[in-house]
Amino acid sequence: MWPRSFFSETTRRERVAWWCLGILLTAQVLVYALDVADGTAAGLLHNLLYLIPGLIVAGVAGRAARPVRTAWAFLSAGQLAYACGNLYWWVYVRDLEPEPLITPADPLWLTFYPSFGIALVLLLRDRLPRVSAAAWLDGVIAATAVTSLVSVPVLAAVEPAPHSTMLGVVVNAAYPIADIAVIGCLLGAWALCGWRRDRVLGLLIAGMALFAGADTVSMVLLWEGVHVPVGVDLTWLVGLSLLSLAARQPVGRAERRRPSLWLSTAVPAVLAVSCLGLLLWAALTEHDVAPVGSLLAGTAITAAIVRMMASVRTAEALGAARRQARTDELTGLANRRFFVERLERELDGPHATLAVAYVDLDRFKEVNDSFGHDVGDTLLRLVGARMRDSLGTEVLLARLGGDEFGLIVPGTGRDRAAEVVAGVLRTLREPFVLPEVDLHVDASIGIAICPDDGTDRSTLLRRADVAMYAAKTGHGGGPVFATGLDDHARARLTMLEELRTGLDRGELVLHYQPKVTVDAAARVVGVEALVRWQHPERGLIYPDAFLYTAESADLMGRITAVVLDLACRQSRRWHDEGLPVSVAVNLSVSDLRDPGFPEQVGALLRRHGLPPEALELEVTESVLMTDADNALQTLGRLRDMGPRLAVDDYGTGYSSLSYLQVLPVDDLKLDRAFVSRCGVDPRSAAIVHSTVQLAHSLGMQIIAEGVEDADIFERLRGYGCDLAQGYGIARPQDATTTTAWLLDREIAYRAAV
C-alpha cells in the first residue's frame, strides 16, 4: 500500500500503525460507500482514523534528533488536538439540529494550525543555517502571492448565515484563512530552500492543500446550513496522513541538494504575473478585492521586481567573475584556463587541424633580478600587447604564467605555423622602451601540430612544452617543432623531467675528494663535495651530464640547497667522529643572484651545529662575471658569516685582475688544464708559478686541481703551492669510503709525528 522506501528505517510498531491506517482508511471508504456511517462501530473507526496519524508522528518524534524531534512533537500535538476536537464533535455535536457555528471542538481544531506553524519554523531553522537574499525574496513572493490569490475566491464565498454571530463568523472563517496562511508559508519555505525537489515539503504542502480545500468547502456548507458530505471528511483524513508521511522522510540540510534552476526562475515569475493579473482584472472589471488581498499582491509584485533587479546584478557579477577567471590580470590576455578550454573546443571537431605554440621569454629572470619585478611586469604587459597586435583575430594568445605565453592557431599546418611564430619573433626583437632602460627581448618557441604530433589536449601541450625546452637549450634562435626533435634533444628533455622527479625523491648523492697540504706531511685539510645523481635505472650519473640542463631549467637553486644540506649533514658526522675537516661546495650563478642565499647558508650551519669554518664555498670565474655586482655583494655577506670562499677553475675565464683585487675570497683554485701540463709544457708551468705568486701577493691561498702523480705534486711544492687535490692523491668516493680514507690518513699522520 505504501512505497517500500518510506519504511526503510521504521520500527515494527510504526509499520503496524501504517498498515492499520491503510486498512482503516479502506474500511472508512466502504462505510461511506455503503451509507452505514451511523453507529458505534462507525464512530470508533472514524475517530481512530483521526488519532493514528498523530500517534505515528509522536513515535517518529520520540526517535528523532533535536531540533527535528521538537518539530515533529509540535506537529503531533496539533494532530492529536485535532483528533480530540473531532472526538468531541462526534459525541456531543454531530446530532444537534441545527449544528451550532461554535463548539468547544473549535479551540482544539484551531490548535492544529499554530502547532503546525511552529513545527515548520523549527524544520526550517535546522535545514537552512544560511539563507541568501534571493531566497528570502523568493519566500516573500511565494507566501504573499499564494495567500493573495487563494484569499480572493475564499473570502468572496464568505456569506454568513442569517443566524450567525460575529464570533461565529470569525471562528469559522479562521479555518480557511489559517489554511491559506499556512500554504503561503509552506510555499515560502520551499522558496527559501531554493525550490529544490524536497519530499518533506512536498508532502506538507499536499497535506495542507487538502486541508485548505476541505475547510473552505466545510465553511461554505456550514453557513448555508447544509451537512458536510463524506468526501470532505475523507479529504481531512488523507491530509493528516500525508502530514504523517512527511515526518517519515529523511530530513537533511537543504544545501546538500542541487537547487532546481527552472523552478527557482519560473515559479516566482508565474506567481508575480498572476498577482499582476489579479490587480488588472480587479481594475478592469470593477470587481472588489479585499484590501488585504490587494496589499499582498502588491507586496509579491514589488518583491518580484526587487528579485529581478538582484538577479540582473548577480548575472552581471557572475559574468564579470567568469571573465576574470579566464583573463590574465597582468596583461589582460586569456589565461591558462581559457587557453585549455579553447584548445579542447577546437579539438572536438572530427578532423581538427591546428598548431599549439609555447613562447618563453629568454633571460627574463635577469630582468627581474637586475631591474626589479615592477620593470619585469611592465615588460610583460608590453610584450603581451605587442604580440596581440601582431597576431590575427583567429589566433588565440594567452599568458600561461610567468614569462610563458601560448598560441592556438586553428586550421593551420606546419608552414603557416612557422610564419606566425616567425612574425612573433620579429616583433619581439624590436626594442622595448622602458623608463629605466631600453630592452631587447628574444624568445624560445616550441610548436606542436595537430594531428601530426597528437590529437588530444595533453599530448599536444606536452609535446609543445618539450619543443620549447629544446629551443631554449639549443640556442638556435628559431622555433622548434615537436616533429623535428632529434633523439638527443628528446633524451635531454626526458632527463630534465627525470631530474625533477629525482630531486623530489632524494636521488642526489655526494662524493668527496680530499684536499691536502703540498708538503712532505700531505696533511688533509678538507674535502670537496661533488654531486652525483643515483638514477634508479641508469645508475650513477656524473654532473657534466645533467647540470647544464638543470641550469637552463632554473633547477640549480634546488640542487645547491640539496647539496649544501647533504654536505653539512656529513660534516656533522665527521666532526662527531673526531675528523674536523671542512667541506667545499660549488655555487651557481642563481645562488649568487638570490638575496636570501646567505641566510639559507647560516640557517644550515645553525641547524647542524657547525662552525662557519666547517664549510667552504666555491664559485667559478664565469659565475662571477655573469653578474659581477650582485656576486660581489652576496660574497661579501657570505664572507662576513665566516665560511671560506674560493674562486674555482681560475685561469679558464676572462676575468679582469681588477675584479680579483676586490673579490672577498680566501683561495684561488687553479684549473687542472694548467696543473696537469706543468711537467711537460713550460708555458703551463710559468702560469702555475706566476699564479702562485699572484695569490700569495694578494693574501690568498692557492689550490691546485688535477694533481695526477707525484712528479706534479713535487713541482707544485717547489712553486710554493699551498694545497692540492687530484686523482694522484685520492679519487672522489662516497661518504663511507672517504671516511675510511680519512681515518687511515689521520692514523698514519699521527704515527709519523
Condensed to tens digits (0 to 9), the pLDDT of residues 675-723 reads 888 888 888 899 899 989 988 988 899 999 989 889 999 999 999 999 9
Closest CA to 411 of 327, 316, 346: 346
| The predicted structure's pLDDT at residue 9 | 47
Query: In angstroms, what CA-CA distances link 5 with 9, 25, 218, 249?
Result: 9, 21, 35, 9
d(CA 274, CA 415): 64
Q: Cβ(694)–Cβ(667) under 8 Å?
A: no
Choice between 474 and 326, residue whose per-residue pLDDT is larger: 326
Q: Cβ(441)–Cβ(375) under 8 Å?
A: no
The top-scoring range by mean pLDDT among 157-161, 248-252, 578-582 is 578-582
**Phi, then psi, of 96 in degrees rounded to 5:** -75, 140
User: If residue 724 lies in a helix (H) or strand (E), which one and from where to where?
Assistant: strand 723-724
3-state SS, residue 133 = helix
Q: Find the angle CA(646)-CA(652)-CA(653) to the nearest 5 degrees.
A: 85
Looking at 97-106, 311-320, 586-595, 608-617, which range is the least confident one?
Answer: 311-320
Residue 144 exposed, middle or buried by CB count within 10 Å (0-12, 13-18, 19+): buried
Structure confidence at residue 544 as a pLDDT band (50, 70, 90): confident
Choice between 625 and 751, residue whose per-residue pLDDT is larger: 625
What count of Cα atoms within 13 Å lies in the side-chain half-sphere of residue 279? 18
Residue 127 reports pLDDT greater than 70: no
Q: Collect contacts of 648-654 with beta carbons under 8 A, ≥24 apart.
A: 648/586, 648/618, 648/619, 648/620, 648/621, 649/620, 649/621, 649/622, 649/705, 650/621, 650/691, 651/621, 651/687, 651/691, 652/620, 652/621, 652/622, 653/620, 653/621, 653/622, 653/624, 653/625, 654/621, 654/625
Q: Tell me whether strands 508-517 and 524-535 are parallel, antiparallel or unpaired.
A: antiparallel
The CA radius of gyration of the chain, in Å to the nearest whole number, is 45
d(CA 176, CA 209): 10
| The predicted structure's pLDDT at residue 3 | 46
> In degrees to the nearest 10, what's the CA dihedral of 427, 429, 430, 434?
110
Structure confidence at residue 629 as a pLDDT band (50, 70, 90): confident
When the pLDDT of each residue in the chain is averaged and rounded to a whole number, the result is: 78
pLDDT, average across residues 630-655? 80
Closest CA to 353 of 257, 455, 459, 429: 455
Residue with cell 589582460: 332
Region of 286 please: left (phi>0), alpha (psi -120 to 50) or beta.
left
Kindly report, residue by residue over 725-743, the tens digit of the pLDDT.
999 999 999 999 999 999 8
pLDDT, average across residues 300-316? 64
| The predicted structure's pLDDT at residue 8 | 43
Residue 565 reports pLDDT greater than 80: yes
Kindly report, residue by residue over 25-81, the tens digit of the pLDDT.
777 777 666 665 555 666 677 778 878 888 888 888 877 777 678 888 888 888 888
The top-scoring range by mean pLDDT among 317-326, 462-471, 507-516, 676-685 is 507-516
Closest CA to 665 of 638, 705, 630, 687: 638
For the chain, report the end-to-end CA distance as a whole number of angstroms: 106
Q: Tell me whether strands 539-541 and 404-410 are parallel, antiparallel or unpaired.
A: unpaired
Closest CA to 691 of 654, 663, 719: 719
| The predicted structure's pLDDT at residue 494 | 76
Q: Cβ(417)–Cβ(356) under 8 Å?
A: no
Residue 269 reports pLDDT greater than 90: no
| The predicted structure's pLDDT at residue 268 | 64
